[in-house]
Amino acid sequence: MHIGKYISLVHRTEIDLVKAFRLVADAHRDEVDVYQICMLLSSWSQSLSDDVQIFAEKYGEENDDEPDRLTQTLLKKARKGGMALLRDLHDLYLIVSEAEVCCAILQQGAAGLRDDALMLTCEEIERQSKRQLSWIYTRMRSAAPQTLIAAG
């Protein structure tokens, strides 16, 4: 059984997101709404990773060497400025999408196992990931014209 592999992926991606949202918040403190919402979304990922932790203990996490995981290639360090904000939000979008995809796969496993508790957790992750994506999408799109056209 390899469900531990996807539990680990979801778990690690949420932990990465806790840090990633925080990193973007700190790098763009001057964009007040970005700072505050990223801090809020970071706390959501913290809570989701805590939820998954229980199942990591139940099924065992299965780590393997995957140095090229998406989250490690994105958002390595803080960048500043308008274009950097757009790029950072873009990266965040990809990482949250990774969490969402991992979760969708895990959810199939949970269904096969008839593990209702894991199902509920997966549904919560899916719900919150969609809310995170939706905010990033909204904010990126509203920042784009000014950044691409009017900024110096």
Partner 1 sequence: MQASRDSIIDIWGERSPYRGEWPVRVDQCTSEEPDHWVQSACVLCSNGCGIDIGVKNGRIVGVRGRKEDIVNFGRMGPKGLHGWVANNSKDRLTKPLIRENGKLREAGWDEAMNLIVQRSKEIIEKQTSLGIGFYTSGQLFLEEYYTLGVIGKAGLGTPHMDGNTRLCTATSAAALKASFGSDGQPGSYSDIDTTDCVLHFGHNIASQQTVLWMRILDRLAGPNPPKVVVIDPRETYTAQKATVHLAPKPGTNIPVMNGLLHLIITAGHINRAYIDAHTVGFEELEKIVTEWPPERVEKLSGVPAAKLREAARILGTTRSLVSTVLQGVYQSMQATAAAVQINNLHLVRGLIGSDGCGIYQMNGQPTAQNTRECGADGDLPAFRNWSNKEHVQQLAGLWNVELHKIPHWSPPTHAMQIWRFAEAGSIKMLWISGTNPAVSMPELSRIREILQKEDLFVVAQDAFMTETTKFADVVLPAAIWGEKTGCYTNVDRTVHISHKAVEPPGEARSDFDIFIDYSRRMGFKDKDGADLIKWNTPEEAFEAWKECTRGRPCDYTGMSYSKLTGGSGIQWPCNEKFPEGSHHLYTDGVFNTAADYCETYGHDLDTGAAVTQEEYKAIDPNGKAFLKGSDYIPPHEAPDEEYPLWLTTGRLVYHFHTRTKTGRSKELHEAAPDGYVQISEEDAAKYNIAEGDMIEVASRRGKIVEPAKIGGIGPGIVFVPFHYGYWDNEERPRAANELTITEWDAVSKQPHFKYAAVKISKTGGILDKIGEAIETIKEKFKPGET
Q: Which of 25, 37, 89, 103 binds partner 1 (CB under 8 A)?
A: 37
* Distance between CA atoms of residues 85 and 25, nearest Å: 10
- At its nearest, how many Å lie between partner 1 and the CB of residue 131? 6
Which of 69, 75, 89, 83 is CA-nearest to residue 134?
Answer: 89
- Residue 40 near partner 1 by CB under 8 A: yes
Residue 114's CB is within 10 A of a number of other CB atoms, namely: 8
- Residue 146 near partner 1 by CB under 8 A: yes
* Distance between CA atoms of residues 94 and 74, nearest Å: 9
H/E stretch holding 146 reads none
- Residue 150 near partner 1 by CB under 8 A: yes
Smaller CB distance to partner 1: residue 56 or 133? 133
- At its nearest, how many Å lie between partner 1 and the CB of residue 102? 21
Smaller CB distance to partner 1: residue 58 or 131? 131
- Residue 80 near partner 1 by CB under 8 A: no
The DSSP 8-state label assigned to residue 66 in this structure reads -
Tokens of 144: 């784009």
* Distance between CA atoms of residues 17 and 6, nearest Å: 16
- At its nearest, how many Å lie between partner 1 and the CB of residue 61? 30
Interface contacts to partner 1, rule CB under 8 A? 30-33, 36-37, 40-41, 82, 131, 134-135, 137-138, 141-142, 144-147, 149-152
